[in-house]
Amino acid sequence: MIGPELLAAHAGILRTQVGACWPGTRAVFRGHDLHKDLHAADWLELYLFGITGRRFTPQQVKLLHGLWVLTSYPDARIWNNRVAALAGSSRSSPVLGLSAALAVSEARIYGGGPGLRAIDFFQRAAKAAACGQALRDFIAEELKSRHIYGYGRPIDSCDERLPWLAGLAKEQGLDQGPHFKMAHEVETILLEMGKTNLRMNYAGMTAALGADLGLTPREFHLFRVPMFLAGMPPCWMEAAEKPAGTLFPIPCEKIAYEGVPIRPWQGRIA
Amino acid sequence: MSNNPDTIHTRIWREEAEPDNPFATRTAYCRGYDVFGQMLGNTRWIEMLVLLFRDELPDAAQLDMLEALAVALANPGPRDPSIHAAMCGGVGGSSAAAALIAALSVGAGRYRGARDVFDAMSAWQACGTDVEIWRAYSLRDTQDDIADTWPRREHAPGFDPHGVSTAASVRQLLETLARIGATPRLCWLAAQRLELEKAVGLPLDIGGVAAAAFADLCFQPNEGEMLYLLLRLPGAAAHALEQERYGYKQFPFYPVELRDDPATKETP
């Protein structure tokens, strides 16, 4: 079925596998009664079940919790957090501030973009290795055609979160997966190639661990949505408690104008 | 992260402060023009819009063409997913910003949204006015494209994946813009539309016309994407407020057919 027939077949009704609620009676979440079967679920476990339809072990859930915890930085200078804080300072609502800050986190050079591309890289590398290609050759090809996500960091090449995350993975017995091992091999090869600024970053390590948990790139992308969230409310709160407009107020002289010199407007209105 | 960490660099905007307050604007300049002293009352909104994106204005016909496009885009109508989303905000009493954010987020996508316009403008850069290149481009397998935060492209950008023939509204828009602006892509599209649609296998959509118009005005794909988001917001605002007034009892709440229901599963 195609075209308007396809649209007409879907008009006016929701056909779904993932769930529904009947106000006053019950709610279903991916084939389970939310209240009877899942009322005691850990929130993150439920979140993952919602994304994947699969259940995760307590060790896996603990590791995935850690992925969020270790990068929750309540620093209002960071671009996404700054959005939350500016909302507080401008007396906007907390949900508007936080949802905008989360949206901003789906960025090209940090957050959502690199995470997605890093897991994609590891899974393509694993596929190439399964077909007999040496990892070094695969990396060399990637470097020729595109940036390798998961390695390198704009501010400081040393990522303070990695030892803690690696420790947590070890503690939970989840540090022996093929992608996690490959992530370290990739770093070694990059360093041997003289790419000393391309040390593994947080996107790289989290993507490798996510791949070892069997997450697809899209599932991993969805899992990461609230990753920075915990650091944002303190930024909003503090800014909302200070006098309005006092977060990074910018005086006129701090605009460095680099454009066309002042010129008269030749009125063109009809 | 910057040599001058508290300075904002811009080619768009300059402000001079009041002598008694460095945070109060005495004079603001947009691309060198005094906004409040000279432009106000002497400038069309569409001129201001274009100036924000570039140093010089296009000719009068091109401005008229963009203004006509802005009229066409101002309200996608309540059937459009972005307006539907804004109405979901309005009907529940969500904030004004939430309704517009809903419209922006839903209207940002690759199906009838701003990313489709971005893709279509990229297609113009790749294909130009060559029907055969368009044909190959639209058939290109996107399976191996680099992973992106956007879902993979599912149809030729700028064309209606569920369409049968070109809607009269789309034809009228194309013909009007081509007549007013007389710009190369719009004129070619108006002349070659049937052949192009045959090559692509889908009818042209409104986003495809907008993409051609933006490209003719020398906007880059990311600028066209922004403009498409901006220009469709007025309808979202109006429809959100209207549904707030009508109330949720008059707003659709669809029946559901749940296909994995524990209540209907046999107990083992």
ipTM: 0.92
Using a CB-CB distance cutoff of 8 angstroms, which residues of chain A are in contact with residue B97? 92-93, 96
Shortest alpha-carbon distance between residue B202 and chain A (Å): 10
Same domain assignment for residues A43 and A122:
no
Phi-psi region of B67 (alpha: psi -120 to 50; beta: other; left: phi over 0): alpha
Last residue of a domain, one of A8, A38, A55: A55
Same domain assignment for residues A145 and A49:
no
Same domain assignment for residues A142 and A40:
no
Q: Quick check: is A123 in a domain?
A: yes
Residue of chain B with shortest Cα separation from A145:
B146
Most B CBs within 10 A among A77, A89, A218, A262, hence the mutation to make, goes to A262
Most A CBs within 10 A among B21, B260, B264, B267, hence the mutation to make, goes to B260
In degrees rounded to 5, what are phi and psi of residue A140? -60, -40
B120-133 pLDDT, tens digit per residue, is 999 999 999 999 99
Same domain assignment for residues A119 and A207:
yes
Last residue of a domain, one of A55, A72, A101: A55
Beta-carbon count within 10 A of B109 CB:
15
Calculated CA dihedral for residues B57, B63, B65, B69, nearest 10 degrees:
90
Same domain assignment for residues A209 and A122:
yes
Q: Quick check: is A116 in a domain?
A: yes
CA proximity to A67, closest of A150, A168, A152: A168
- Write out the H or E segment, with its range, that includes residue B258: strand B256-258
B221-267 pLDDT, tens digit per residue, is 999 999 999 999 999 999 999 999 999 999 999 999 999 999 998 76
Which of B1, B259, B262 has the CB atom closest to A155's CB atom?
Answer: B1
Q: Quick check: is A146 in a domain?
A: yes
Task: Please determine, for residue A149, whether its predicted confidence score (pLDDT) is greater than 60.
Answer: yes
pLDDT in 10s for each residue of chain B, 268 residues: 455 779 999 999 999 999 999 999 999 999 999 999 999 999 999 999 999 999 999 999 999 999 999 999 999 999 999 999 999 999 999 999 999 999 999 999 999 999 999 999 999 999 999 999 999 999 887 766 777 889 988 999 999 999 999 999 999 999 999 999 999 999 999 999 999 999 999 999 999 999 999 999 999 999 999 999 999 999 999 999 999 999 999 999 999 999 999 999 876 6
Contacts of A195 (CB under 8 A, 6+ apart): A143, A151
What pLDDT is attached to residue A20?
97
What pLDDT is attached to residue A146?
77
Q: Quick check: is A165 in a domain?
A: yes
> Mean pLDDT, to the nearest integer, of A19-31?
96
Which of A13, A251, A263 has the CB atom closest to B257's CB atom?
Answer: A13
Our count of domains for chain A comes to 2
Q: Does B14 contact A at CB distance below 8 Å?
A: yes
Q: By percentage, how much of chain A surpasses pLDDT 90?
A: 88
A27-82 pLDDT, tens digit per residue, is 999 999 999 999 999 999 999 999 999 999 999 999 999 999 999 999 999 999 99
Same domain assignment for residues A210 and A126:
yes
Q: Quick check: is A6 in a domain?
A: no
What pLDDT is attached to residue B265?
82
Shortest alpha-carbon distance between residue B258 and chain A (Å): 5
Round to whole Å and give the CA distance between B246 and B244.
6
Which of A253, A259, A267 has the CB atom closest to B31's CB atom?
Answer: A259
Domain of A174 in residue numbering reads as 112-223
Q: Quick check: is A262 in a domain?
A: no
Task: Please determine, for residue A269, whether its predicted confidence score (pLDDT) is greater than 60.
Answer: no
* Residue A193 belongs to domain with CATH number: 1.10.230.10
Q: Quick check: is A217 in a domain?
A: yes
Contacts of A81 (CB under 8 A, 6+ apart): A73, A74, A75, A101, A228, A231, A232, A235
Same domain assignment for residues A35 and A117:
no
Which of B149, B255, B256 has the CB atom closest to A112's CB atom?
Answer: B149
Using a CB-CB distance cutoff of 8 angstroms, which residues of chain B are in contact with residue A221? 149
Chain B (74-133) residues lying within 8 Å, Cβ to Cβ, of chain A: 95, 97-98, 101, 105
Using a CB-CB distance cutoff of 8 angstroms, which residues of chain A are in contact with residue B38? 264-265, 267
Shortest alpha-carbon distance between residue B56 and chain A (Å): 10
Higher-scoring residue by pLDDT: A144, B223: B223
Round to whole Å and give the CA distance between A212 and A214.
5
CA proximity to A205, closest of A231, A187, A190: A187
Same domain assignment for residues A211 and A134:
yes
Residue A141's DSSP bridge partners are: none
Same domain assignment for residues A138 and A215:
yes
Q: Is B116 exposed, middle or buried (0-12, 13-18, 19+ CB in 10 A)?
A: buried
How distant, in Å, are the alpha carbons of A77, B14, B191 from that of B194? 53, 48, 8
Same domain assignment for residues A120 and A189:
yes
Most B CBs within 10 A among A2, A106, A116, A260, hence the mutation to make, goes to A260
A182-228 pLDDT, tens digit per residue, is 999 999 999 999 998 899 999 999 999 999 999 999 999 999 999 99
Chain A (63-102) residues lying within 8 Å, Cβ to Cβ, of chain B: 92-93, 95-96, 99-100
Q: Quick check: is A179 in a domain?
A: yes
Residue of chain B with shortest Cα separation from A33:
B262
Using a CB-CB distance cutoff of 8 angstroms, which residues of chain A are in contact with residue B108? none
What pLDDT is attached to residue A268?
60
| pLDDT band at A156; cut points 50, 70, 90 | confident
Indicate yes or no: CB of A253 within 8 angstroms of CB of B17: yes
| pLDDT band at A158; cut points 50, 70, 90 | confident
